[in-house]
Amino acid sequence: MSAPRLLGGRYEVGELLGRGGMAEVHLGHDTRLSRPVAIKMLRSDLARDTQFLNRFRREAQSAAGLNHASIVAVYDSGEDHAIETGGASVPVPYIVMEFVEGRTLRELLNASSPLDPAEAARITEGVLDALAYSHRMGIVHRDIKPANVMIGPQGQIKVMDFGIARAVADANATMTQTQAVIGTAQYLSPEQAQGHHVDARSDLYSTGCLLFELLTGRPPFQADSPVAIAYQHVGQPPPRPSTLNPAVDPALDAVVLHSLAKDREARYQDATAFRADLQAARLGRPISDAARGTAGSAADATVAIATPVGAAATTVFAPTGGYDDPPEPVGSNTASLPAIGHDPDDEPRKRRGLAYFLLVLAVLGALVLLGVAGKALLDRPPTDAPKVAVPAVIDLPQAAAEAKIRAVGLVPEATQVASSKDIGVVVDQNPGADEMVADGSKVGISVSAGPDTVELPDLKGFTQDEATARLAALDLKVGAVKQVDDTGLDKGKVFTTSPAAGEEVPVGSAINLNVSSGKVTVPDVVGKTRNEAADILGELGLSVKTTYVDSTEAENSVLKQSIKAKTKVEDGSTITLTIAQPPPPVQTPTTPPTTATTEPTTPPTTSTTVPTITP
């Protein structure tokens, strides 16, 4: 049995978990930390492009900086080497991610769809939580779809593949390419479909498509080719979800339609607003006026051009493995227009149908020609137009970076982003260093505005697990854990934190916990009053018993304690205090008063003659 493939001298590559248009995902094992991981390796044909490699490395670093409970964590990234036919070695980037038990939304939908509206809303709220955080950190996902959302065993939501889609999108990949569709066609925003600039609102459109499918069991647009689907994203309004699932109420209809506005300025402007309306709809509360207005206008909209699904038997624009979720065939869930010529009594409708058919073919043909022309232009040798190399400005102060960019004839464009780096330092640039661009081109630089901060809550009395969960909910993590004595708390309860409760700390910070060891150092309370001693010992979690002895010391003072001071005892131990009480008064025996006795004086003897009486 051969040894498992090892990446970075650390990660064993195991069984294949999934395969997509851009990468393969394997179960892996981190031999250093002895934990399961997921390993995603990019296709070798994408890895041959130096420009793509540079951007992928940069995006892998950005993704690794995302620390949120609803985002699959990125642990590490690196490069392996694949040997091609002919012996050439090609670097293959990989990303090591958190391995999440559970299943994807795609698997859930395949097993049971549509979902209950309340559950669909709850899941989407979790996705929006992740996007709100990533957008604050300056990262746009660009490929939100059911296959990129995991549901854990306890129902927790995890969004994955941050950074990878952005790296591809930054390589100027659009729907006009003939070799791959960037992003899944059913969830592309109109601006992505047209090859325009993508921002956070593009993710919100894709999330609206995902919510639509959770509610109805199908994406908002379906056709037999990615280009036809993209065309619908650009020019055709979506149906109300309630027309496909009567359990969807009007408020939820309105939220979905607002998220699917063609013009990004008419959509939700941030994930927080989207989530607030979605939660309000789920709880039966009023939604925003903007969402209600969009619902009304979408209902009354007139479609200028409709793409007849299935009009052409041949897929005009066929990607080679460009999207993970294949388009559904015309039939069960796909609305097909009447075939041309099937109604001999309605010549006007025949002519309109033929006109639409020809117009759609013309539009699709034009898109193909544009794609071919764009490919040809990209493949042409460089012309004589002046080109300059983009300077490296990452880690420079903003002023120095802008001066360096202007010095070579380029135009800096600065954007403030949350970052753990010093305020005012450039943390990212696009295009990357040493890329050749036309003279006068714009160079985007992301400048650190400092990290987002949160107020640290008071965790005193929480168990360590409870404190860890509270911190994770605030995008904070546990740092060092120290056992401390004399807390007055049960063993394992948090006593204090560092930084202290109430302080503002950067998102992603490690918070040190001082946790009760359950041990108490007995204090010296001899000489204290009974009440003082009882209070001191009680605050330390010790029990008190008292015994009293007669003493000439101050009344109620502690004469002795049963456990010596500075002794370590378990929380709740009992200490007996000997308390002074005044002795009873001394009882002196009572002596009766002494009385002087005078002996009577014997009177002098007198001779008395008693006369004799003779009868």
Question: Distances in Å between the alpha carbon of 326 and those of 159, 188, 208, 424, 454?
Answer: 21, 14, 19, 45, 42
Nearest to 541 by CA among 458, 459, 461: 461
Q: What share of the chain is helix, strand, coil (3-state, %, to 5)?
A: 30, 25, 45
Beta bridge partners of 39: 26, 96
Please give the DSSP secondary-structure letter assigned to residue 352.
Answer: H
Q: Which residues of 421-437 are buried (b: 16+ CB within 10 A; e: fewer)?
A: beebbbbbbbbbeebeb
Q: How many CB atoms lie within 10 A of CB 408?
A: 13
* Helix (H) / strand (E) containing 451: none
Helix (H) or strand (E) holding 561: strand 558-561
According to DSSP, the residues that pair with 546 across neighbouring strands are: 577
Q: Are 252 and 122 in contact (CB under 8 A)?
A: no
Reported as type and span, the H/E element at residue 298 is helix 289-300
Give the torsion sign (CA, 320, 92, 10, 77).
Answer: negative
361, two tokens: 């073919």
Task: Name residue 327's amino acid.
Answer: P
| Residue partners of 82: CB distance under 8 A and separation at least 6 | 44, 47, 89, 90, 92
Contact yes or no for 368/319 (Cβ under 8 A): no
CB 464 within 8 A of CB 513: yes
Specify whether 465 is catalytic.
Answer: no
Q: What are the structure tokens assigned to 416, written together?
A: 């403030």
User: What SS3 class is residue 268?
Assistant: coil
Nearest to 94 by CA among 144, 163, 31: 163
- The C-alpha torsion from 241 through 312 and 178 to 208, rounded to 10°, is 0
Q: Which of 30, 143, 161, 324 is catalytic?
A: 143
| Structure tokens, 136 | 């604050």
Determine contact, residues 497/512, Cβ cutoff 8 Å. yes
CA 472 from centroid of its chain's CA atoms: 9
The Cα–Cα gap between 295 and 241 comes to 11
Is residue 243 a contact partner of residue 252, using CB atoms and an 8 Å limit?
no
The answer to whether residues 234 and 193 touch, using CB atoms and an 8 Å cutoff, is yes
Under a CB-based contact definition with an 8 Å cutoff, are residues 12 and 28 in contact? yes
Look at residues 500, 575, 564, 499 and name the one whose alpha carbon lies nearest to residue 540: 575
- Note whether 328 and 224 are within 8 A (CB): no
Place of tokens 């009293």: 548
The torsion defined by the Cα of 43, 45, 48 and 54, in degrees rounded to 10, comes to -40
- Phi and psi at 116, nearest 5°, equal -60, 135
53: left (phi over 0), alpha (psi -120 to 50) or beta: alpha
Structure letter (DSSP) for residue 539: H
**Residues known to be catalytic:** 143
